[in-house]
């Protein structure tokens, strides 16, 4: 692809890569018998929902906005889970939800009867206190986590609860699910005979190159054989849009300070790739590599005023120059959905590279978008 021809800055979703992921996910669902639903939190770019809907019709939402978007753009009621529900939002949530999972017993006591009366299947999020996630920011299963009920508080289920939900994984492999299920059975096994469904959360990165899909299916089928009455649900987000597109940017200036050369871009890490600073991780760039000892290298500088809005160091296959496109890989999941308009910096447009090879621009942003959010 000639990136130079893509307007900059721009997120580009690659339809062919997306369809590859969707086929794999649908295959796992068909082969295992588990229902796999799309977590909107990872990607709410609804321009691609018509493509997703061809393979996976159901979703999970974590707010009224997500639930409504799922209902309007996917055409189905959603499975909802949020850490806390409010009086103001609950009626709205009920309108768009088929399932609602509660994060605490007190929240179930407050809202559960209303949901049940509305014909919604209610569940509780539990904390199996097992996780292989090493970054604390992304570990929901520590014993002090605010997310989910620990086993000591749940000797039995309140009347009306039909499901259990856990979410402990993050970009994980099947072994981590195996470990979580063992912990779940150990701590909550006594509750499994009395529920109808078990939602195994997200974090199953089944579309990653080195993910053993057969192993996941084996784990799921073995678990289902043990608990044949249970409907199993998986709600990954990242797996759907893993490696399905780019953030195309441009080198607008090159500055040299204190012996460091920085390529100044028309995008910002803080505003347009916040996970690179939060996680933190160094995003892959096309045509760049890890500098070898003594090799000429560059920092990439964002265009907002935050001092730490940069990433480094990168060495390039050919000398970078002002005007060159600089393309970040894998910038679709948890990226587009997390952007801000801090500093009023120009927000990247959103385009789809169709299976036929055409670039379809679906959204551009301007002054009105910035202004309308501020008051
Ligand atoms: C409750 C819940 N479900 C599903 C997901 C999706 O996880 P992932 O995108 O890692 O698959 C998350 C992510 O934070 C989550 O918190």
* Token pair belonging to 290: 């890890």
Of 21, 25, 39, 70, the residue with max ligand 1 atoms within 8 A of its CB, to mutate for a pocket test, comes to: 39
Share of the chain above pLDDT 70, in %: 100
Taking the C-alpha atoms of residue 333 and residue 81, their distance in angstroms, rounded to an integer, is 19
Give the tens place of pLDDT for each residue, 152-192.
Answer: 999 999 999 999 999 999 999 999 999 999 999 999 999 99
Pocket around ligand 1 at a 6 A CB cut-off: 39, 41-42, 81, 167, 170, 201-203, 235-239
Please, are residues 66 and 89 in contact by the beta-carbon 8 Å criterion? no
Please, are residues 309 and 273 in contact by the beta-carbon 8 Å criterion? no
Of 235, 238, 242, 244, the residue with max ligand 1 atoms within 8 A of its CB, to mutate for a pocket test, comes to: 235
User: What is the length of the chain?
Assistant: 375
* Token pair belonging to 342: 């801090």
* 122 CA to centre of ligand 1 in angstroms: 19
Nearest CA to ligand 1 atom 7: 202
> DSSP letter string over 148-174?
SB-GGG-SSPPTTEEEEE----SSB-H
Nearest CA to ligand 1 atom 12: 202
Give the tens place of pLDDT for each residue, 85-144.
Answer: 999 999 999 999 999 999 999 999 999 999 999 999 999 999 999 988 888 888 899 888
Give the pLDDT score at 341.
Answer: 97
What 3-state DSSP class applies to 338? helix
Taking the C-alpha atoms of residue 82 and residue 66, their distance in angstroms, rounded to an integer, is 11
Give the tens place of pLDDT for each residue, 317-326.
Answer: 999 999 999 9
Burial of 127 (0-12, 13-18, 19+ CB in 10 A): buried
Give the pLDDT score at 11.
Answer: 98
**pTM exceeding the 0.95 threshold for the entire prediction:** yes
Name the band, by pLDDT with cuts 50, 70 and 90, for residue 51.
very high
List Cβ neighbours of 214 (8 Å cut-off, separation of 6 or more): none
CA distances from 33 to 79, 92, 200 (A): 18, 31, 14
* 139 CA to centre of ligand 1 in angstroms: 11
Average pLDDT, the chain: 97
User: How many CB atoms sit inside 10 A of residue 135's CB?
Assistant: 12
With DSSP H G I counted as helix, E B as strand and the rest as coil, what are the percentages for the chain, rounded to 5? 35, 25, 40
Give the pLDDT score at 50.
Answer: 98
Give the pLDDT score at 368.
Answer: 98
Give the tens place of pLDDT for each residue, 237-295.
Answer: 999 999 999 999 999 999 999 999 999 999 999 999 999 999 899 999 999 999 999 99
Taking the C-alpha atoms of residue 297 and residue 315, their distance in angstroms, rounded to an integer, is 4
Mean pLDDT of 327-349: 97
Ligand 1, atom nearest to 334 Cα: 9
For 141, the enclosing helix (H) or strand (E) is: none
Please, are residues 56 and 235 in contact by the beta-carbon 8 Å criterion? no
Give the pLDDT score at 93.
Answer: 98
Of 25, 83, 202, the residue with max ligand 1 atoms within 8 A of its CB, to mutate for a pocket test, comes to: 202
Taking the C-alpha atoms of residue 251 and residue 98, their distance in angstroms, rounded to an integer, is 47
* 6 CA to centre of ligand 1 in angstroms: 31
């Amino acid at each position: 692809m000639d990136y130079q021809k893509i307007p900059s800055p721009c997120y580009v979703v690659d339809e062919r890569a997306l369809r590859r992921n969707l086929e794999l996910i649908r295959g796992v669902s068909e082969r295992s018998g588990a229902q796999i639903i799309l977590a909107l939190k990872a990607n709410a770019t609804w321009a691609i929902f018509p493509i997703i809907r061809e393979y996976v019709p159901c979703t999970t939402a974590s707010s009224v906005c997500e639930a409504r978007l799922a209902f309007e753009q996917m055409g189905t009621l959603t499975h909802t889970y949020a850490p806390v529900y409010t009086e103001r939002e609950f009626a709205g949530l009920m309108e768009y939800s088929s399932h609602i999972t509660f994060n605490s017993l007190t929240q179930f006591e407050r809202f559960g009867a209303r949901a049940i009366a509305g014909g919604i299947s209610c569940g509780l999020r539990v904390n199996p206190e097992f996780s292989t996630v090493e970054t604390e920011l992304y570990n929901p299963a520590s014993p002090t986590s605010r997310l989910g009920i620990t086993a000591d508080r749940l000797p039995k289920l309140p009347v009306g609860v039909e499901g259990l939900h856990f979410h402990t994984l993050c970009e994980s492999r099947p072994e981590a699910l195996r470990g979580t299920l063992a912990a779940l059975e150990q701590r909550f096994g006594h509750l499994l005979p009395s529920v109808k469904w078990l939602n195994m959360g997200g974090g199953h990165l089944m579309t990653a190159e080195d993910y053993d899909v057969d192993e996941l299916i084996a784990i799921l089928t073995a678990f289902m054989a043990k608990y044949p009455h249970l409907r199993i649900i998986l709600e990954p987000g990242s797996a759907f849009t893993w490696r399905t597109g780019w953030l195309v940017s441009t080198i607008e200036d090159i500055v040299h300070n204190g012996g460091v050369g920085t390529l100044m871009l028309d995008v910002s890490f803080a505003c347009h790739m916040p996970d690179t600073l939060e996680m933190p991780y160094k995003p892959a760039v096309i045509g760049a590599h890890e500098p070898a000892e003594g090799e000429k290298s560059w920092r990439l500088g964002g265009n907002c005023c935050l001092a730490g809005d940069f990433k480094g160091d990168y060495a390039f296959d050919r000398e970078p120059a002002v005007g060159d496109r600089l393309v970040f890989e894998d910038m679709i999941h948890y990226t587009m959905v997390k952007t801000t308009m801090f500093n009023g910096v120009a927000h990247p447009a959103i385009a789809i590279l169709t299976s036929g090879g055409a670039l379809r621009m679906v959204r551009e942003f301007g002054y009105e978008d910035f202004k309308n959010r501020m008051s």
